[in-house]
Structure 1
Amino acid sequence: MSASAPSSARPGAARGPQGRAGAPTSGGRSRATPGAVPTASGRRRGRPVLVAAVLLALAALVAAALLSLAVGSRGISPGVVVEALLAPDRSSTDHLVVLDLRLPRTVVGLVAGTALGLAGAVMQGLTRNPLADPGLLGVNAGAATAVVLAISVLGVTSPGGYVWFALAGAAAAAVVVHLVAATGREGATPVKLTLAGAAVSALLLSLTTGVLVTDSATFDQFRFWQVGSLVGRDLSAVAAVLPLVAAGALLALLLAPALDALQLGDDVARGLGQRTGAVRALGALAAVLLCGGATALAGPIAFVGLAVPHLVRALTGPAHRWLLPLSALVAPTLLLLADVLGRVVARPGEVQVGVVAALLGAPVLVALVRRRRGSLEL
């Protein structure tokens, strides 16, 4: 009797080697084509399809930006918008509306949306939690507490003045969350990060609420920032936040291969040469820079960072080299379209973009849950 078992009886032979492009066939070989990326449903998307998706998302972003510049209480034709951008005439009322009112608003939407989309994708990959959003590390709660204290104690009144306080509060909260989660032998695991973030957020929320219920003047100012808005922010506020958002975006894109390795589990990631602790620290830093900058600029806007990565992942699959760039394009498109919709549904008034984004993002997330039979997977 032979000592060796047939190849078909060996452990793992029925499944075959796992390739990066997808599941193997019954014969043990993967028939995935080079460059193909598996989607959440198991279907492979070839590189040309994904490149076409990126180009289509870029075209949609340009169209959304033009709509943001053209639509409002004063309708302006796309031709006049382009003329105002390329050959501005300060004597033209339409040009002044485009340049002084709508251009800063559109730039804020582009920067904040890009930051939120990238931050959401990074946080979901970093924690392997499909419900992770950019505020998981206490960033939103820290920014809100700092803004409330700036209004109540220091008398800051302008949205441009909130920026630095919101950034400082977001960074401080994230540091506290990471220090709490890093205690113990295992270090900052995904579960500990989630629990520490929830605990610190609850603590900061109670502090914020305590100040607001005792200071009506602070509450009147804070509520306009809290709902999330692109109005009232000028380009100087964008200039203050843009370097931080750019640094966070670059760091997030560079971490794409490491985030892919983390999806296989910490043990496998270490076997592939990844330093999981360093990856999580750098990923948390990228998320803080991105989400802190977006929150400081536009206030805490919900559902964009949560829903957009799931929407994109349905096309690209789990590969972060495609997920991150597409999220960075789709999120600002959604945010700008939400802002445009808020301008036209309640004329002559407006609905704040944070409200409209939640109304648009929630049905998308529910549809994805129903499509995947009640569960969201990474």
Structure 2
Amino acid sequence: MTALVPTREDVTGPHGGGPARRPALPASAAIAVAVLAGAGVLSLLVGANAVPLDALWDEGHPARAIVEARFERTLLGLAVGAALGLAGALMQGLTRNPLADPGILGVNAGATFAMVIGMTMFGLDALGQFLPLAFVGAAAAAVLVHAIASVGRDGATPMKLAITGAALSAGLASWTTGLLLADRKTMESFRFWQVGTIGGRGLDVLAVGLPFLVVGALLALAGARLLNTLALGEDLARGLGRRTTRDRLVIALAIVLLAGTATALAGPIAFVGLVVPHVVRALVGPDHTRVLPFSMLAGAALVVVADTVGRIVLPPSEVQVGIMAAAVGVPVFIALIRRTGRAM
């Protein structure tokens, strides 16, 4: 778990006068932007029907309509991936838990369950109506997982949080299925969204959720130094003048906005928020002023690449992005569980 927690030298430097030695930021940023741009271009060109490169700028090209359809899908994937990557980095930094992730800790399941309640019991059918319910469900699930895991002598250890989150997710999934079985009409419209997908959605859907994603991202990036301070310990953070309770609430609000909106837009896509921060910390170090923005870029790239691979792995059918993300995330999650269990 030490990789999650910046030491005093990570934040202030070895003599308290400046930042510690880190990987070159310009090179890291250039690589991240290049990977993201490459993922975006591949998303436009690759699929069941390959598109030639000149169709990207030739408005009269016969494949131009395919490019435009994929462009909307790619933008949604970038936004959802950035939100999930950032939310995962926030959760891991706030809880100092290497297994924290909106999917694993029940946040996605809570948002999903709340949305299904709105669909089946109140007849809601518009994304603007779903979003408030998604926020409430995500927040309630996060609070409940932490409260249950905190019971006992050792408090909310990483392993207890992961187990509690998995148990709550399973329970909420069962209740969600029960509600859907009682309403077949809702089930038909819900089943494609349930596996996590960015296909078949236009820019109008993204436009509804974008303001919430922007607010969540701004809160998150503004809280990077708060996470660095909190990582030094509660007592030292208070000694430095921080109001730790308020700081935690700000970060928690950002997590709810990001994870809740991403779930409402694309369904419950798990493991992106788990894998991305670990990769980013290995590249740029534990300082959250770097981890958070790079997690946005890496999360966006991962979702877009997973969606692109899902279009070609089983032609002519598509494998939804939620399934492809899980194919990458499950082995990483098992490895982290084993490593964390040995460290405890």
**What TM-score, normalized to structure 1?**
0.77
**Cα distance change, pair 31–147 in 1 and its aligned pair in 2 (3 A):** closer
Structure 2 match to 1:59: 34
Counterparts of 2:166 and 2:308, CA distance in 1: 33
**Cα distance change, pair 347–53 in 1 and its aligned pair in 2 (3 A):** same
Structure 2 match to 1:79: 54
User: How far did residue 285 of structure 1 move?
Assistant: 0.5
Q: Does 1:36 align with 2:5?
A: no
Structure 2 match to 1:121: 89
| Runs of at least 5 residues in structure 1 that lack an aligned partner in the other structure | 1-17, 25-29, 38-44
User: How far did residue 148 of structure 1 move?
Assistant: 2.0
Matches within 5 A, 1:97-108: 97-99=66-68, 101-108=69-76
**Cα distance change, pair 63–129 in 1 and its aligned pair in 2 (3 A):** same
**Cα distance change, pair 213–19 in 1 and its aligned pair in 2 (3 A):** closer
User: How far did residue 141 of structure 1 move?
Assistant: 2.4
Q: 2:128 aligns with which of 140, 149, 164?
A: 164
User: How far did residue 271 of structure 1 move?
Assistant: 1.3
User: How far did residue 374 of structure 1 move?
Assistant: 6.2
**1:85-122 superposed Cα distances (whole Å, 9 cap, x missing partner):** xxx34xx43111111x2011000100000000100000
Higher helix content, 1 or 2: 2
User: How far did residue 150 of structure 1 move?
Assistant: 4.0
Contact between 1:21 and 1:34, CA under 8 Å: does it hold in 2?
no
Matches within 5 A, 1:139-154: 139-153=107-121
The SS at the match of 1:191 is: coil
Find the structure with the greater CA-based Rg: 1
Contact between 2:107 and 2:141, CA under 8 Å: does it hold in 1?
no
* Mean CA deviation greater in 145-154 or 263-272: 145-154
Q: Does 1:358 align with 2:326?
A: yes
**Cα distance change, pair 237–135 in 1 and its aligned pair in 2 (3 A):** same
Counterparts of 1:176 and 1:304, CA distance in 2: 21
**Cα distance change, pair 314–374 in 1 and its aligned pair in 2 (3 A):** farther
**1:169-210 superposed Cα distances (whole Å, 9 cap, x missing partner):** 222124445776999xx9xxx839959977875664453232
Structure 2 match to 1:319: 287
Counterparts of 1:322 and 1:376, CA distance in 2: 26
Q: Does 1:261 align with 2:211?
A: no
Counterparts of 1:169 and 1:376, CA distance in 2: 38
The SS at the match of 2:311 is: helix
Contact between 2:106 and 2:169, CA under 8 Å: does it hold in 1?
yes
**1:125-167 superposed Cα distances (whole Å, 9 cap, x missing partner):** 111111111246753223212332344345566xxx3x23442
* Mean CA deviation greater in 314-323 or 360-369: 360-369
**Cα distance change, pair 259–19 in 1 and its aligned pair in 2 (3 A):** closer
Q: 1:112 aligns with which of 73, 80, 83?
A: 80
Counterparts of 2:279 and 2:243, CA distance in 1: 29
User: How far did residue 55 of structure 1 move?
Assistant: 1.2
**Cα distance change, pair 264–256 in 1 and its aligned pair in 2 (3 A):** same
Matches within 5 A, 1:1-378: 19-21=8-10, 30=14, 35-37=19-21, 45-46=22-23, 49-81=24-56, 83-84=57-58, 88-89=59-60, 92-99=61-68, 101-135=69-103, 138-153=106-121, 161=126, 163-176=127-140, 191=156, 204-366=172-334
The SS at the match of 1:21 is: helix
User: How far did residue 376 of structure 1 move?
Assistant: 8.0
**What TM-score, normalized to structure 2?**
0.84
* Mean CA deviation greater in 190-199 or 343-352: 190-199
- Aligned partner letter, 2:52: S
Contact between 2:89 and 2:273, CA under 8 Å: does it hold in 1?
yes
- Aligned partner letter, 1:146: A
CA RMSD of aligned residues (A): 3.4
Query: Quick one: higher RCO (CA 8 Å, sep 6+), 1 or 2?
Result: 2
